[in-house]
Structure 1
Amino acid sequence: METGNETALIVRPEEAEYAALPHGGGFRLPADAGDTGGALGANRLALGMGADGARPHYHALSTEPFYVLDGTVEFLVGDERAAVGRGGMVVVPPKVAHAFGAAAGCTAELLAVLTPGVDRFGYFRTLGRIQHGLDSFDSLLPEQVRYDVHFVDATVWRSARTA
């Protein structure tokens, strides 16, 4: 749809790529950075009961807002832990380490946006393969700069999730 000098992006639900996760969840991938002229990338993530969403990492270039669509999501942002329910939002600025997952005993669904956008659909596809045991986590390590996902020590996150 043309709007002045720009082109709007319209993605119908059936058009968004889906990457299944083994815990009953998955990534719905409606917009990568290339689709939006670099303005943003967006994904919708469904998490199975108590499932981790992302281990601790930061983005050097982008801000990442998370909007909780359903359930309760546990976040670790810097040193702060927070449980955020449906309708809540967390906005993580560049260079701040963060992790998240569905709260114990809950499923969760959230919308994540990365702005400015970085083409990351390949990253989400790889995460799906890793969770299905088809690839190793180490395969992502050389791609940290490409996807602007820089992993940090996960000790605090693992301790929080098992407590």
Structure 2
Amino acid sequence: MEATTPALVVQPGEAAGAALTNGAFELLADGGAVSASRLTLATGADGAPPHHHRLSHETFYVLDGTMLFRLGDTLTTVGKGGLVVIPPGLPHVFGAAEGHGADVVVVLSPGIERFGYFEQLAAISRGEAEFASLLPQQHRYDVHFEDLPDWRTPPSR
């Protein structure tokens, strides 16, 4: 059986990027079957704000360093070579673990075009835009924000 859709190949240097104050972001694939990106975080830097996805699974593969995840009410540290798969609806947030940087590949499936979201996050990280500017875009990007102001602190039981 012949494929009806051509394969996607992204060569080194072809990905669209966005500079962050605490790292770097490369968008490898935007929409379709998957959205894929590579995120490099400085020591102890936060990634995206606390959120959940209604439609997509989000998968993280740690290429280097150590990541800290809050998955619902659970804090989990994941090192180089570790994999995290987050189902739709689970509130989560992530960043480089304290004292560590991180390099991670992130894949959302199904994919939703999110480059505009990442450009806006980069502008917010540089102080060029307010976080509130993302709120009207939550449904468009399937990124629904959660209120977890101190996400790195273990929840009280």
Q: Same fold (TM over 0.5)?
A: yes
SS of the residue 2:140 aligns to = helix
What is the letter of the counterpart of residue 29 of structure 1?
L
Aligned to 1:98: 92
Aligned to 1:46: 40
Matches of 1:4 and 1:158 in 2, distance apart?
45
Evaluate the alpha carbon distance shift between residue 72 and residue 158 of structure 1 in structure 2; reply closer, same or farther with a 3 A threshold: closer
SS of the residue 1:52 aligns to = coil
2:148 pairs with 1:151: no
Aligned to 1:20: 19
2:77 pairs with 1:78: no
Relative to the length of structure 2, the TM-score reads 0.94
Matches of 1:29 and 1:46 in 2, distance apart?
12
Matches of 2:4 and 2:146 in 1, distance apart?
41
SS of the residue 1:111 aligns to = strand
How far the C-alpha of 1:4 sits from its partner, in A, is 3.4
Deviation >2 Å, runs of 4+ = 3-6
List alignment gaps of at least 5 residues for structure 2.
Answer: none
Q: What percent identity do the matched residue pairs reach?
A: 54
What is the letter of the counterpart of residue 127 of structure 2?
G
> Among residues 129, 137, 148, which one is paired with 2:123 in the alignment?
129
Q: Which is helix-richer, 1 or 2?
A: 1
Query: Is 1:41–1:117's contact at 8 Å kept on the other side of the alignment?
Result: yes
SS of the residue 1:43 aligns to = strand
RMSD value, Cα: 1.2
How far the C-alpha of 1:64 sits from its partner, in A, is 0.4
Matches of 2:4 and 2:88 in 1, distance apart?
30
SS of the residue 2:48 aligns to = strand
Query: Is 1:41–1:119's contact at 8 Å kept on the other side of the alignment?
Result: yes
List alignment gaps of at least 5 residues for structure 1.
Answer: none
How far the C-alpha of 1:155 sits from its partner, in A, is 3.1
Query: Is 2:77–2:97's contact at 8 Å kept on the other side of the alignment?
Result: yes
Matches of 1:6 and 1:50 in 2, distance apart?
40
Structure 1 stretch displaced more, 14-23 or 79-88: 14-23
What is the letter of the counterpart of residue 30 of structure 1?
L
